[in-house]
Amino acid sequence: MTERMGPQMTDFVTGSLDVAWIHGRRGEPAIQTHVYDERTVILRQSKRVEYEAPFLYLLFGDDRALLLDTGASADPALFPLRATVDALVDAWLAKHPRDGYELVVAHSHGHGDHVAADAQFAGRPGTTVVPHDEPEVRRFFGFPGGLTGSVPFDLGGRVLEILGSPGHHEAAITVYDPWTGFLLTGDTVYPGRLYVADYPAFRDTLERLVAFADTHPVSHVLGCHIEMTRTPGRDYPLGARFQPDEHVLPLTVAQLAEVRDATVRTGGRQGRHRHRDFILYISPGNKEKRDLLVRAKLRRLQEALLRP
């Protein structure tokens, strides 16, 4: 069975990102699913379950689906990711019946808050869970050299481009989706604290992402967290479990270029560099870590007193 994917490369499906994301209110679900379009689902883990509250992306092609990231909690009783994804895949297959539909579980990068529920997918029929260390990521996607070029990855009528994006994490990738125009930047670029572990690699990655966005139609730059508030330059404390005044998730190509420019301007100078929509932490040292932890402790006290 075949069906035509509608849009050309330059006109995207129309979807809405005007979403009231869950952000830690009492009684909210462990996982929120937002159907952007029939083939594209954005998921968010609740801050009630884990303060990192990462975003996950599920993209359906004709032959297989890609789940990008598995969240910050392993326990299916707390965080039923497998059951949620199974229900979404089943619903999609009910409308688009076909045999042998596969699921690929890959990761924006290998940090613990993006890979925690991998084991929930062990033994799932037709499923590949891509390991999250750098050599395995390169091997799976077929990068010819290091993780600095880009390679296509075909879901069936939906050919993603996988861009190696080291700097925050050595095995980080960015996923470009021509169906929606999404540039999925993981923890490399999002409205929050951008931790730069390898400055030259991060700077080169940002240069390549900006160059890519200059030559490909990008609708939204979407990362995996929100840590900024709606007040310019102000972030929520590390560990915040209630974020009623969050920055919006999507960033623009212009904001991507701002991250690039800000990164270049630091010249690799260690420390915190605060900007309107993001804060760069270049090779964060003991001082930056101590400041974050002190503020996190105050926040926990505050939230204990004023639990929403």
Looking only at the bridges linking them, the beta strands covering 40-45 and 55-60 are antiparallel
Q: Which is nearer to Zn ion, 48 or 111 (CB)?
A: 111
CA angle, 137 then 145 then 154, to 5°: 55
How many residues line the site for Zn ion (CB under 5 A)?
A: 2
Binding to Zn ion, residues 115-174 (CB under 5 A): none
Instruction: Provide, rounded to whole angstroms, the least separation between the CB of residue 185 and Zn ion.
Output: 11
Instruction: Provide, rounded to whole angstroms, the least separation between the CB of residue 108 and Zn ion.
Output: 8
- The span of 5-13, 107-115, 140-148, 264-272 binding Zn ion (CB under 5 A) equals 107-115
Instruction: Provide, rounded to whole angstroms, the least separation between the CB of residue 169 and Zn ion.
Output: 6
Q: Which is nearer to Zn ion, 39 or 111 (CB)?
A: 111
8 A C-beta contact, residue 45 and residue 54 = yes
Task: Say how far apart CA 91 and CA 165 lie, in whole Å.
Answer: 33
User: For the purposes of burial, counting CB atoms within 10 Å of the CB of 163, is it exposed (0-12), middle (13-18) or buried (19 or more)?
Assistant: buried
Instruction: Provide, rounded to whole angstroms, the least separation between the CB of residue 252 and Zn ion.
Output: 22
Task: Say how far apart CA 282 and CA 64 lie, in whole Å.
Answer: 38
Residue 111 binds to Zn ion (criterion: CB under 5 A): yes
Binding mask 180-209 for Zn ion (x = CB under 5 A): -------x----------------------
Looking only at the bridges linking them, the beta strands covering 102-106 and 127-129 are parallel
Q: Which is nearer to Zn ion, 34 or 109 (CB)?
A: 109
Instruction: Provide, rounded to whole angstroms, the least separation between the CB of residue 120 and Zn ion.
Output: 20
8 A C-beta contact, residue 24 and residue 242 = yes
Instruction: Provide, rounded to whole angstroms, the least separation between the CB of residue 226 and Zn ion.
Output: 14
Q: Which is nearer to Zn ion, 141 or 281 (CB)?
A: 281
Q: Which is nearer to Zn ion, 111 or 208 (CB)?
A: 111
8 A C-beta contact, residue 107 and residue 134 = no
Q: Which is nearer to Zn ion, 54 or 237 (CB)?
A: 54
Q: Which is nearer to Zn ion, 15 or 167 (CB)?
A: 167
Instruction: Provide, rounded to whole angstroms, the least separation between the CB of residue 195 and Zn ion.
Output: 7
Query: Tokens 């910050």 sit at which residue?
Result: 72
At 162, the amino acid letter reads I
- The span of 38-46, 103-111, 133-141, 287-295 binding Zn ion (CB under 5 A) equals 103-111
H or E segment and range at residue 135: helix 134-141
* Strands, sheet with 159-164, edge to edge from the N-terminal-most edge strand: 150-154, 159-164, 173-177, 182-186, 220-223
The residues of the shown chain that bind Zn ion, judged by CB under 5 A, are: 111, 187
